[in-house]
């Protein structure tokens, strides 16, 4: 076992994406020195760090070699699946607070997650683990209906395809399996037709609490890529209390000791099906911005204090003051059209509207836009808040009316 030198107040963050920036800023506000590990020299989080290391964060031994030199007080991340197993490995080796390597595996390996869910009676699509094209062909023929192909342990919807015909299996297998990291396999799953939801929560010593639920919509041209997440505490159509119960039960049965969670479910014929769950907060700043607004719970305060082994509030409840609040994470679209950007209209409204707390446009005039084939290829987004549904729906209408990417 590796033992860190006398611990400083340094904290190592794994992954250097934009989504790590709010966590880095909060740590620095609390007086900690932050070191960021990431593979790319131009990582967006690097300028916010006190120091950074260019390293592949999936290379556990190399990360350990570097981490020992910094003698950190804690190692953490958020909104990043691929960082979870490495953080668990490093923390366990260095005697730091951690969810443990077993949990790190369960919450990033889609096959293990499926097996666990099925064993404990959760709504689970029929699934097959395949490491060879022939295995996948046989699985598709045995099921005989529409399926979803996905890598075993990738993220951001990379390598995820809808499979309708035998030719689709042949066409997409090699690309899908190329995104699997630890084990070169894919999952071929029954396609669940129905409304999709996300559930963000937090696990404390007192149990798991589901803090924020969104109803999710997808692009017309790609049913595997989300274009909108609408957050509310209640629904007139769906039983959110039941969804919270299912989600809480899964996390508590799994043995996750603490931390943020982000899950995805589908609803079909009166039943919720667990699609995926991760031991991290929702991406695109869901955990940083949206969860605190709609729940009244500052999840970063808990995550930081717990990981740094400080006294923290374990009895977390959703504030009644936030019950009517709404939030949305919407991704920009060109109605499925591809082509050269001629003009971007209405960006001033995104900048000036006080209810829009964050936005980004990832294209400019002259760029050639293609339809997104994974989450990272979307052309931009905005996050908006409303104290009630009416206020938020007005903002959404205004953005749809004013903002356009003209091709």
Name the pLDDT band for 193 (thresholds 50, 70, 90).
Answer: very high
348: Cβ contacts below 8 Å, ≥ 6 apart: none
Order across the sheet with 222-232: list the strands.
Answer: 271-278, 259-268, 195-204, 207-219, 222-232, 326-331, 380-386, 356-361
SS3 of residue 320 by DSSP: helix
Sign of CA dihedral 117, 118, 121, 123: positive
The pLDDT, as a whole number, for residue 348 is: 97
Distance CA 267, CA 106 (A): 23
Distance CA 165, CA 182 (A): 28
Beta bridge partners of 14: 37
Average pLDDT over residues 227-252: 97
Most confident of 153-162, 219-228, 377-386: 377-386
CA distances from 316 to 147, 210, 238, 387 (A): 39, 10, 24, 22
Distance CA 231, CA 216 (A): 9
pLDDT digits (tens, 9 = 90+) for 16-47: 999 999 999 999 999 999 999 999 999 999 99
Out of 43-47, 306-310, 327-331, 356-360, pick the least confident. Answer: 306-310
pLDDT of 3 > 50? The answer is no
The pLDDT, as a whole number, for residue 176 is: 92
What backbone phi and psi angles, to 5 degrees, belong to 63?
A: -60, -40
Order across the sheet with 161-163: list the strands.
Answer: 127-130, 186-190, 147-151, 161-163
Of 119, 121, 92, 117, nearest to 104 (Cα)?
92
Share of the chain above pLDDT 70, in %: 97
For residue 362, what are its two tokens?
């990832």
The pLDDT, as a whole number, for residue 156 is: 64
pLDDT of 120 > 70? The answer is yes
CA distances from 366 to 331, 338, 340, 373, 407 (A): 20, 13, 6, 21, 9
What does the mean pLDDT of the chain come to?
Answer: 93
Could you tell me if 190 and 125 are in contact, meaning their C-beta atoms sit under 8 angstroms apart? yes
Average pLDDT over residues 41-64: 97
Average pLDDT over residues 163-174: 92
Question: For residue 366, is it left (φ>0), alpha (ψ between -120 and 50) or beta?
Answer: left
Average pLDDT over residues 321-331: 96
Average pLDDT over residues 357-383: 92
Give me Rg for the CA atoms of the chain. Answer: 21
Name the pLDDT band for 115 (thresholds 50, 70, 90).
Answer: very high
Going along the chain from its start, the domains and CATH numbers come out as 10-98 (3.40.50.20), 126-190 (3.30.1490.20), 195-406 (3.30.470.20)
């Amino acid at each position: 076992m590796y033992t860190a030198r006398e611990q400083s107040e340094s904290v190592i963050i794994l992954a250097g994406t934009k989504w790590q920036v709010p966590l880095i800023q909060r740590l620095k506000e609390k007086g900690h020195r932050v070191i960021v590990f990431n593979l790319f020299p131009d990582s967006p989080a690097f300028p916010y760090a006190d120091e950074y290391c260019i390293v592949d964060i999936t290379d556990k031994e190399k990360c350990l070699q570097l981490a020992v030199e910094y003698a950190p007080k804690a190692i953490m991340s958020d909104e990043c699946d691929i960082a979870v197993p490495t953080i668990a490995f490093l923390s366990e080796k260095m005697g730091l607070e951690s969810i443990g390597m077993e949990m790190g595996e369960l919450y990033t390996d889609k096959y293990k997650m499926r097996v666990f869910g099925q064993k404990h009676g959760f709504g689970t699509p029929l699934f097959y683990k395949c490491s060879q094209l022939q295995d996948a062909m046989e699985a598709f023929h045995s099921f005989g209906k529409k399926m979803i192909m996905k890598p075993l342990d990738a993220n951001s919807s990379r390598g995820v395809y809808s499979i309708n015909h035998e030719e689709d299996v042949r066409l997409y297998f090699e690309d899908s399996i190329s995104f699997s990291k630890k084990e070169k396999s894919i999952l071929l799953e029954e396609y669940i037709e129905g409304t999709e939801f996300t559930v963000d929560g937090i696990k404390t010593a007192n149990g798991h609490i589901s803090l924020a639920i969104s109803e999710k919509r997808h692009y017309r041209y790609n049913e595997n890529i989300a274009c909108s997440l609408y957050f509310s505490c209640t629904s007139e159509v769906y039983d959110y209390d039941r969804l919270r119960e299912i989600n809480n039960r899964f996390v508590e049965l799994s043995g996750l000791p603490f931390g943020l969670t982000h899950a995805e479910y589908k609803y079909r014929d009166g039943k919720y099906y667990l699609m995926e769950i991760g031991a991290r907060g929702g991406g695109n700043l869901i955990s940083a911005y949206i969860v605190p607004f709609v729940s009244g719970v500052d999840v970063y305060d808990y995550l930081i204090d717990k990981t740094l082994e400080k006294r923290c509030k374990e009895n977390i409840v959703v504030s009644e003051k936030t019950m009517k609040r709404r939030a949305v994470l919407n991704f920009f679209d060109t109605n499925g059209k591809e082509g050269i950007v001629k003009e971007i209209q209405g960006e001033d409204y995104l900048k000036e509207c006080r209810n829009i707390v964050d936005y980004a446009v990832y294209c400019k005039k002259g760029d050639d836009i293609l339809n997104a084939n994974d989450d990272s290829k979307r052309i931009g987004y905005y996050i908006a808040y409303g104290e009630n549904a009416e206020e938020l729906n007005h903002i959404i209408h205004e953005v749809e009316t004013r903002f356009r990417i003209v091709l």
